[in-house]
Amino acid sequence: MPIHPEAELPLVDIAALCGEAAHPQRGQATDALITALSSVGFAVLRGHGVAAAVTQQMRAAVAAVFDTPRETYRDFIVRKTNYRGYVPLGYFTPNSGVGDADHYEAWKLHQETAPDDPVCAQSKLYGPNRWPPLALNVRAAVSAYWAEMDRINRCVLEAICEGLGLDTTGVLEMLHQPLTNMTLLNYPGTTPRDAWGIHPHKDFNFLTLLAHDPVGGLEVRRLDGSWIDARCPPDALVMNVGDMLELLTGGRLVSTPHRVVNRSGRQRMSFPYFSVPRHDVVVRPLLPPLPGFERAPLQAGAASANIWTSNWPDEHSTLAAQDLGDYGG
């Protein structure tokens, strides 16, 4: 399917959603948000309130990670038993087990959890992060940015609950001790012919938040099967619905296929944030599913472990109901 250069993602100003609940524009902003996420599954967010300095420091930290000689990370490569640390270039393949390795490298981070926290005994997915061994304080920059993404994730979910008539307290409680994670990504400026930066896929979470990308390359598939560039103003964020939120809403909010193709000839770096419920949360529709929407409930921890492990070339996802696979070119 072709790229439509004239098409744009919906732009939503969320300033009214990030302040007091009685803001006079709150209802209007909520309606715009629901419309975007139910028709496209993506939205460009303005009025989010993240200070420019916080994002700039995050960009500097990510640049430092990928400006470092890779032999420094030899002892920090991710393992199936500890999905934290350095992901070498071309290390992971599509979850389906079909297709070539994606052309990116990464540093994987999860919700920071002390090793003596009782939740670590309940699920092996928790624990402390493995931070890049650099002079620059990467952890401080990431933590400040992460806190802002947590804030935005919360106020957006509150608005979604209000707009759809869901129990706000119950939904937010699912994010107590979450499996929320972040990936620091680097796409080299030279990409092999016909290679994906990241293959066409859907996210497996509640919401994904991504700061403006000055290089470009993120593309979103519309409902008619065509693709559009996910253009985003410098002061905005791109947000999209993941499969877990689609399931929670009975198909009302749509988890949309997207991909990365770095055609710029320049190095592209990004740092998406993925909100994921606590490990023992069973995600199921909280509203009557829309006609034709059939999806089995899933446990957040077990399903996440399955998806993450299936990144390795010798594994593939067994979650047949969660169709995250290849969505073609």
For residue 89, is it within any domain? yes
CATH number at residue 45: 2.60.120.330
User: What is residue 280's predicted lDDT score, i.e. its pLDDT?
Assistant: 98
Asked if the structure places residue 327 within a domain, the reply is no
188 or 17: whose pLDDT is higher? 17
Q: What's the pLDDT at 281? A: 98
Q: 17 or 225: which carries more pLDDT confidence? A: 17
- What is the SS3 assignment for the chain? CCECCCCCCCEEECHHHCCCCCCCCHHHHHHHHHHHHHHCCEEEEECCCCCHHHHHHHHHHHHHHHCCCHHHHHHHECECCECCEEECCCCCCCCCCCCCCCCCEEEEEECCCCCCCHHHHHCCCCCCCCCCCCCCCHHHHHHHHHHHHHHHHHHHHHHHHHHHCCCHHHHHHCCCCCCCEEEEEEECCCCCCCCCCEEEECCCCCEEEEECCCCCCEEEECCCCCEEECCCCCCCEEEEECHHHHHHCCCCCCCCCEEECCCCCCCEEECCEECCCCCCCEECCCCCCCCCCCCCCEEHHHHHHHHHHCCCCCCCCCCCCCCCCCCCC
324 pLDDT exceeds 60? no
Q: Is residue 297's pLDDT more than 60?
A: yes
- The answer to whether residue 173 sits within a structural domain is yes
Inside any domain, residue 19? yes
Average pLDDT over residues 296-310: 90
Q: What is the mean pLDDT of residues 213-220?
A: 88
Averaged pLDDT for residues 235-247: 97
Mean pLDDT of 175-189: 95
**70 located within any domain:** yes
Q: What is the signed CA dihedral for 12, 17, 22, 28, rounded to 10 degrees?
A: 20
Within a domain: 53: yes
* The two structure tokens encoding residue 99: 């297709």
Per-residue pLDDT at 192: 65
pTM score, whole prediction = 0.93
- pLDDT exceeds 60 at position 4: no
In a domain, 138, yes or no: yes
Confidence category of residue 94, pLDDT binned at 50, 70, 90: low
Share of the chain above pLDDT 70, in %: 89
Instruction: Work out whether strand 42-46 and strand 11-13 pair parallel, antiparallel, or are unpaired.
Output: parallel
What integer pLDDT is reported at residue 329 of this predicted model? 47
Torsion of CA 178, 179, 184, 185, to 10 degrees: -130
* Res. 137: pLDDT tops 70: yes
Query: What confidence category does residue 98 fall into, taking pLDDT thresholds of 50, 70 and 90?
Result: low
At residue 293 the predicted structure's pLDDT band, cuts being 50, 70 and 90, is very high
Question: Which pLDDT does position 317 carry in this prediction?
Answer: 60
Q: What mean pLDDT comes out for the span 303-314?
A: 81
Is the pLDDT assigned to residue 110 strictly greater than 90? yes
| Per-chain mean pLDDT for the chain | 89
Examine residue 322 and state whether it is found in any structural domain, yes or no: no
Q: Is the pLDDT of residue 219 over 80?
A: yes
How many domains does the structure of the chain reveal? Answer: 1
Nearest Cα neighbor of 61 from 110, 130, 134, 148 is: 134
Mean pLDDT of 239-261: 96
pLDDT at 270: 95
Q: For position 1, what pLDDT does the model report?
A: 45
Which of 89-103, 175-189, 196-210, 290-304 bottoms out in mean pLDDT, i.e. has the lowest?
89-103
Average pLDDT, integer, range 253-263: 91
- The answer to whether residues 306 and 312 touch, using CB atoms and an 8 Å cutoff, is no
pLDDT(220) > 90: yes
Q: What is the mean pLDDT of residues 93-102?
A: 61
pLDDT of 229 higher than 70:
yes
Inform me whether the pLDDT recorded for 88 exceeds 50. yes
Q: Is the pLDDT of residue 264 over 90?
A: no
Domain enclosing residue 24, as ranges: 12-309
* Full DSSP string of 161-186: HHHHT--HHHHHHTTSS---EEEEEE
pLDDT at 117 over 80: yes
